[in-house]
Amino acid sequence: MPSLKDHQSNEYVKLLLIGDSKSRKTSSLVSLVKAGYQIRILDFDNLLDPLKNQILEKCPDKIDNVEYRTLRDKRKASPLGPIIDGQPKAFVDGIKMLDHWKYKSGPDEIDLGKPSDWGPDCVLVLDSLSRFCDAAYDFREPLTPTGKSGEKDLRAVYGDAQDAIENVLAMLTSSTFGTNVIVIAHGTYMDLPDGTKKIFPQGVGQKLSPKIPQYFPAYIRYKNTNGKCTIQTVSDAMIDLANVSPQKMEKSYPTETGLADFFGVLREPPQLNVKKLERRA
Protein backbone atom coordinates (compact mmCIF):
# COMPACT_ATOMS: atom_id res chain seq x y z
CA MET A 1 0.00 0.00 0.00
CA PRO A 2 1.47 3.43 -0.92
CA SER A 3 2.53 5.70 1.91
CA LEU A 4 1.36 9.30 2.02
CA LYS A 5 4.94 10.40 2.64
CA ASP A 6 5.75 9.25 -0.91
CA HIS A 7 2.99 11.32 -2.54
CA GLN A 8 4.00 12.99 -5.84
CA SER A 9 3.51 16.45 -4.29
CA ASN A 10 6.92 15.93 -2.65
CA GLU A 11 8.51 16.12 -6.10
CA TYR A 12 6.36 18.38 -8.25
CA VAL A 13 4.75 21.79 -7.86
CA LYS A 14 1.48 22.27 -9.73
CA LEU A 15 0.79 25.99 -9.50
CA LEU A 16 -1.97 28.28 -10.77
CA LEU A 17 -0.71 31.85 -10.90
CA ILE A 18 -3.28 34.61 -11.34
CA GLY A 19 -2.88 38.35 -11.64
CA ASP A 20 -3.83 41.51 -13.47
CA SER A 21 -2.06 42.50 -16.66
CA LYS A 22 1.42 43.96 -16.13
CA SER A 23 1.77 42.60 -12.58
CA ARG A 24 5.10 40.95 -13.60
CA LYS A 25 3.76 37.41 -13.77
CA THR A 26 5.94 36.25 -16.66
CA SER A 27 9.08 38.22 -15.80
CA SER A 28 9.02 36.81 -12.25
CA LEU A 29 10.06 33.44 -13.72
CA VAL A 30 13.61 34.84 -13.61
CA SER A 31 13.96 33.74 -9.98
CA LEU A 32 13.38 30.09 -10.99
CA VAL A 33 15.92 30.44 -13.81
CA LYS A 34 18.41 31.87 -11.34
CA ALA A 35 17.71 28.97 -8.95
CA GLY A 36 18.76 26.51 -11.64
CA TYR A 37 15.46 25.26 -13.07
CA GLN A 38 15.03 24.51 -16.76
CA ILE A 39 12.05 26.61 -17.88
CA ARG A 40 10.03 25.54 -20.91
CA ILE A 41 7.31 27.97 -21.92
CA LEU A 42 4.30 27.25 -24.09
CA ASP A 43 3.82 30.87 -25.08
CA PHE A 44 0.42 32.04 -26.32
CA ASP A 45 0.88 35.71 -25.30
CA ASN A 46 4.06 36.57 -27.22
CA LEU A 47 5.16 38.80 -24.32
CA LEU A 48 8.48 37.27 -23.26
CA ASP A 49 10.58 40.43 -23.72
CA PRO A 50 10.55 41.43 -20.01
CA LEU A 51 11.62 37.92 -18.95
CA LYS A 52 14.46 37.92 -21.47
CA ASN A 53 15.69 41.30 -20.19
CA GLN A 54 15.48 40.17 -16.55
CA ILE A 55 17.53 37.05 -17.26
CA LEU A 56 20.17 38.97 -19.22
CA GLU A 57 20.45 41.40 -16.29
CA LYS A 58 20.42 38.95 -13.35
CA CYS A 59 21.71 35.59 -14.62
CA PRO A 60 22.88 35.89 -18.25
CA ASP A 61 24.82 32.62 -17.99
CA LYS A 62 21.47 30.79 -17.67
CA ILE A 63 19.68 32.32 -20.67
CA ASP A 64 19.94 28.98 -22.52
CA ASN A 65 18.04 27.26 -19.69
CA VAL A 66 14.82 28.79 -21.05
CA GLU A 67 13.20 27.12 -24.05
CA TYR A 68 9.96 28.48 -25.52
CA ARG A 69 7.51 27.91 -28.34
CA THR A 70 5.27 30.80 -29.35
CA LEU A 71 1.91 29.73 -30.81
CA ARG A 72 -0.50 32.28 -32.23
CA ASP A 73 -3.06 31.90 -34.99
CA LYS A 74 -2.38 34.33 -37.82
CA ARG A 75 -4.95 37.01 -38.54
CA LYS A 76 -5.65 39.17 -41.57
CA ALA A 77 -7.81 42.17 -42.38
CA SER A 78 -11.18 41.60 -44.05
CA PRO A 79 -14.29 43.68 -44.83
CA LEU A 80 -15.78 42.25 -41.61
CA GLY A 81 -12.71 43.12 -39.54
CA PRO A 82 -9.69 41.00 -38.57
CA ILE A 83 -10.23 37.26 -39.11
CA ILE A 84 -8.06 34.17 -38.71
CA ASP A 85 -5.94 33.57 -41.79
CA GLY A 86 -6.47 29.94 -42.73
CA GLN A 87 -7.29 27.07 -40.40
CA PRO A 88 -6.75 27.87 -36.70
CA LYS A 89 -4.13 25.48 -35.34
CA ALA A 90 -2.47 27.14 -32.31
CA PHE A 91 -4.55 25.09 -29.88
CA VAL A 92 -3.83 21.76 -31.59
CA ASP A 93 -0.13 22.60 -31.91
CA GLY A 94 -0.09 23.35 -28.18
CA ILE A 95 -1.65 19.97 -27.38
CA LYS A 96 0.97 18.26 -29.54
CA MET A 97 3.73 20.08 -27.64
CA LEU A 98 2.29 18.93 -24.32
CA ASP A 99 2.48 15.36 -25.59
CA HIS A 100 5.93 15.62 -27.19
CA TRP A 101 8.03 18.81 -27.19
CA LYS A 102 9.24 18.54 -30.77
CA TYR A 103 9.16 21.03 -33.64
CA LYS A 104 11.14 22.52 -36.50
CA SER A 105 13.01 25.79 -35.98
CA GLY A 106 14.56 26.90 -39.26
CA PRO A 107 16.99 24.17 -40.31
CA ASP A 108 17.01 22.65 -36.82
CA GLU A 109 14.72 20.14 -35.18
CA ILE A 110 14.05 20.73 -31.47
CA ASP A 111 13.28 17.55 -29.54
CA LEU A 112 12.97 17.54 -25.74
CA GLY A 113 10.87 14.42 -25.46
CA LYS A 114 7.66 14.11 -23.51
CA PRO A 115 6.97 16.86 -20.93
CA SER A 116 5.42 14.24 -18.66
CA ASP A 117 8.91 12.71 -18.35
CA TRP A 118 10.90 15.89 -17.72
CA GLY A 119 11.21 15.37 -13.97
CA PRO A 120 11.51 17.67 -10.95
CA ASP A 121 14.22 20.02 -12.25
CA CYS A 122 12.07 21.36 -15.10
CA VAL A 123 9.11 23.72 -15.07
CA LEU A 124 6.50 23.67 -17.82
CA VAL A 125 4.87 27.10 -18.08
CA LEU A 126 1.57 27.73 -19.89
CA ASP A 127 1.53 31.47 -20.60
CA SER A 128 -1.20 32.35 -20.57
CA LEU A 129 -4.33 30.31 -19.91
CA SER A 130 -6.40 33.25 -21.13
CA ARG A 131 -4.97 33.14 -24.66
CA PHE A 132 -4.89 29.33 -24.61
CA CYS A 133 -8.65 29.46 -24.00
CA ASP A 134 -9.04 31.87 -26.93
CA ALA A 135 -7.12 29.44 -29.12
CA ALA A 136 -9.40 26.58 -28.04
CA TYR A 137 -12.48 28.62 -28.93
CA ASP A 138 -11.02 29.63 -32.30
CA PHE A 139 -10.22 26.01 -33.08
CA ARG A 140 -13.68 24.71 -32.18
CA GLU A 141 -15.72 27.48 -33.84
CA PRO A 142 -15.25 26.44 -37.51
CA LEU A 143 -15.89 22.78 -36.59
CA THR A 144 -19.34 23.54 -35.20
CA PRO A 145 -22.11 22.75 -37.73
CA THR A 146 -24.58 25.44 -38.73
CA GLY A 147 -28.28 25.07 -37.98
CA LYS A 148 -31.23 25.35 -40.34
CA SER A 149 -31.10 29.12 -40.01
CA GLY A 150 -27.50 29.12 -41.26
CA GLU A 151 -26.12 30.24 -37.90
CA LYS A 152 -23.95 28.36 -35.45
CA ASP A 153 -24.99 27.58 -31.91
CA LEU A 154 -22.25 29.39 -29.99
CA ARG A 155 -23.26 27.52 -26.83
CA ALA A 156 -21.88 24.38 -28.46
CA VAL A 157 -18.64 26.18 -29.31
CA TYR A 158 -18.21 27.37 -25.72
CA GLY A 159 -19.13 23.95 -24.34
CA ASP A 160 -16.63 22.09 -26.54
CA ALA A 161 -13.85 24.60 -25.83
CA GLN A 162 -14.51 24.46 -22.08
CA ASP A 163 -14.34 20.66 -22.09
CA ALA A 164 -11.07 20.75 -24.05
CA ILE A 165 -9.44 23.20 -21.62
CA GLU A 166 -10.65 21.28 -18.59
CA ASN A 167 -9.19 18.05 -19.99
CA VAL A 168 -5.81 19.76 -20.47
CA LEU A 169 -5.80 21.04 -16.88
CA ALA A 170 -6.70 17.57 -15.63
CA MET A 171 -3.75 16.14 -17.55
CA LEU A 172 -1.21 18.76 -16.40
CA THR A 173 -2.13 18.31 -12.73
CA SER A 174 -2.37 14.51 -12.79
CA SER A 175 0.11 12.28 -10.96
CA THR A 176 1.30 10.86 -14.28
CA PHE A 177 2.47 14.25 -15.60
CA GLY A 178 5.92 14.11 -14.05
CA THR A 179 7.23 17.65 -14.00
CA ASN A 180 6.53 21.00 -12.32
CA VAL A 181 3.74 23.04 -13.90
CA ILE A 182 2.91 26.74 -13.75
CA VAL A 183 -0.26 27.94 -15.44
CA ILE A 184 -0.40 31.74 -15.72
CA ALA A 185 -3.88 33.26 -15.84
CA HIS A 186 -5.48 36.67 -15.87
CA GLY A 187 -8.22 37.40 -13.36
CA THR A 188 -11.85 38.29 -13.95
CA TYR A 189 -14.37 39.59 -11.41
CA MET A 190 -17.53 37.52 -11.16
CA ASP A 191 -20.80 38.11 -9.32
CA LEU A 192 -21.77 35.33 -6.90
CA PRO A 193 -25.34 34.26 -5.99
CA ASP A 194 -25.02 35.92 -2.57
CA GLY A 195 -24.39 39.31 -4.19
CA THR A 196 -20.63 39.41 -3.53
CA LYS A 197 -17.83 39.52 -6.09
CA LYS A 198 -14.78 37.28 -6.33
CA ILE A 199 -11.81 36.95 -8.65
CA PHE A 200 -11.51 33.83 -10.79
CA PRO A 201 -9.18 32.89 -13.66
CA GLN A 202 -10.36 33.90 -17.11
CA GLY A 203 -11.71 30.88 -18.96
CA VAL A 204 -13.85 30.20 -22.00
CA GLY A 205 -17.06 31.78 -20.77
CA GLN A 206 -17.95 32.10 -17.11
CA LYS A 207 -18.91 28.48 -16.40
CA LEU A 208 -15.31 27.26 -16.61
CA SER A 209 -13.69 29.95 -14.47
CA PRO A 210 -14.80 28.68 -11.00
CA LYS A 211 -13.68 25.14 -11.93
CA ILE A 212 -10.11 26.05 -12.86
CA PRO A 213 -8.68 26.46 -9.32
CA GLN A 214 -10.12 23.07 -8.32
CA TYR A 215 -7.36 21.33 -10.29
CA PHE A 216 -4.42 23.00 -8.52
CA PRO A 217 -3.03 22.32 -5.02
CA ALA A 218 -1.18 25.66 -5.19
CA TYR A 219 -2.86 28.91 -6.18
CA ILE A 220 -1.31 32.38 -5.78
CA ARG A 221 -2.16 35.91 -6.81
CA TYR A 222 0.01 38.71 -8.18
CA LYS A 223 -1.00 42.18 -7.02
CA ASN A 224 0.12 45.58 -8.24
CA THR A 225 -0.52 48.20 -5.56
CA ASN A 226 0.63 51.71 -6.45
CA GLY A 227 3.35 50.30 -8.67
CA LYS A 228 4.61 47.75 -6.11
CA CYS A 229 4.09 44.16 -7.25
CA THR A 230 3.82 41.35 -4.70
CA ILE A 231 2.80 37.69 -4.60
CA GLN A 232 -0.15 36.96 -2.31
CA THR A 233 -0.39 33.43 -0.85
CA VAL A 234 -3.31 33.75 1.60
CA SER A 235 -7.01 34.12 0.83
CA ASP A 236 -8.99 37.31 1.37
CA ALA A 237 -12.53 38.48 0.69
CA MET A 238 -11.88 38.74 -3.05
CA ILE A 239 -10.11 35.45 -3.78
CA ASP A 240 -9.67 31.96 -2.32
CA LEU A 241 -6.03 30.90 -2.63
CA ALA A 242 -4.22 27.70 -1.64
CA ASN A 243 -0.84 26.21 -0.88
CA VAL A 244 0.09 22.85 0.59
CA SER A 245 2.37 24.20 3.33
CA PRO A 246 0.68 27.26 4.88
CA GLN A 247 2.58 26.91 8.16
CA LYS A 248 5.90 27.47 6.34
CA MET A 249 4.78 29.89 3.63
CA GLU A 250 5.01 33.67 4.01
CA LYS A 251 1.80 35.61 3.46
CA SER A 252 3.43 37.53 0.61
CA TYR A 253 6.65 37.59 -1.39
CA PRO A 254 8.28 40.14 -3.70
CA THR A 255 7.85 39.24 -7.37
CA GLU A 256 11.61 39.52 -7.92
CA THR A 257 12.38 36.42 -5.82
CA GLY A 258 8.95 35.09 -4.83
CA LEU A 259 8.55 32.15 -7.19
CA ALA A 260 11.89 30.64 -6.17
CA ASP A 261 10.98 31.23 -2.50
CA PHE A 262 7.59 29.55 -3.04
CA PHE A 263 9.16 26.53 -4.75
CA GLY A 264 11.82 26.38 -2.04
CA VAL A 265 9.17 25.82 0.62
CA LEU A 266 7.49 23.02 -1.31
CA ARG A 267 10.38 20.97 -2.72
CA GLU A 268 14.11 20.39 -2.86
CA PRO A 269 16.17 22.66 -5.14
CA PRO A 270 16.99 21.41 -8.65
CA GLN A 271 19.79 18.87 -9.02
CA LEU A 272 20.60 20.04 -12.56
CA ASN A 273 20.13 16.53 -13.89
CA VAL A 274 17.86 17.23 -16.87
CA LYS A 275 17.82 16.56 -20.57
CA LYS A 276 19.49 19.39 -22.42
CA LEU A 277 18.10 21.02 -25.53
CA GLU A 278 18.72 18.97 -28.63
CA ARG A 279 19.11 20.56 -32.03
CA ARG A 280 19.52 18.41 -35.11
CA ALA A 281 20.06 19.82 -38.58
What are the residue boundaries of the structural domains of the chain, listed by start?
Answer: 4-273
Above 60 in pLDDT, residue 8? no
| Structure confidence at residue 271 (pLDDT) | 80
CATH code for 4-273? 3.40.50
Residue 177 neighbours by CB distance under 10 Å: 21
Can you tell me the distance from the alpha carbon of 188 to that of 207, in angstroms, rounded to the nearest whole number? Answer: 12
CA 46 to each of CA 72, 212, 257: distance values in angstroms, whole numbers, following the listed order: 8, 23, 23
User: What are residue 222's phi and psi, to 5 degrees?
Assistant: -95, 130
| Structure confidence at residue 7 (pLDDT) | 55
**Regarding predicted confidence, which is higher, 196 or 281?**
196
Can you tell me the distance from the alpha carbon of 143 to that of 146, in angstroms, rounded to the nearest whole number? Answer: 9
Sequence-separated (6 or more) residues with CB below 8 Å from residue 11: 120, 178, 267
Cβ proximity of 106 and 98 under 8 Å? no
Cβ proximity of 216 and 171 under 8 Å? no
| Structure confidence at residue 273 (pLDDT) | 53
Q: What is the pLDDT of residues 215-263, one digit of tens each?
A: 999 999 999 888 889 999 999 999 999 998 999 999 999 999 999 999 9
Residue 128: asked if its preceding bond is cis (omega within 30°), the reply is: yes
CA atoms within 13 A on the CB side of 190: 18
**Regarding predicted confidence, which is higher, 144 or 244?**
244
Above 60 in pLDDT, residue 268? yes
| Structure confidence at residue 280 (pLDDT) | 47
| Burial (0-12, 13-18, 19+ Cβ within 10 Å), 280 | exposed
| Structure confidence at residue 183 (pLDDT) | 98
Q: What is the pLDDT of residues 62-73, one digit of tens each?
A: 999 999 999 999
Can you tell me the distance from the alpha carbon of 265 to that of 188, in angstroms, rounded to the nearest whole number? Answer: 28
Give the model's confidence band at 281: pLDDT under 50 very low, under 70 low, under 90 confident, else very high. very low
| Structure confidence at residue 2 (pLDDT) | 60
Above 90 in pLDDT, residue 144? no
Q: What percent of the chain has pLDDT over 90?
A: 76
Averaged over 173-186, what is the pLDDT?
A: 97
Give the model's confidence band at 272: pLDDT under 50 very low, under 70 low, under 90 confident, else very high. low
Can you tell me the distance from the alpha carbon of 172 to that of 125, in angstroms, rounded to the nearest whole number? Answer: 10
**Regarding predicted confidence, which is higher, 78 or 7?**
78
Q: What is the pLDDT of residues 98-138, one digit of tens each?
A: 999 999 988 889 999 999 999 999 999 999 999 999 999 99
Return the SS3 of 91.
helix
Above 70 in pLDDT, residue 87? yes
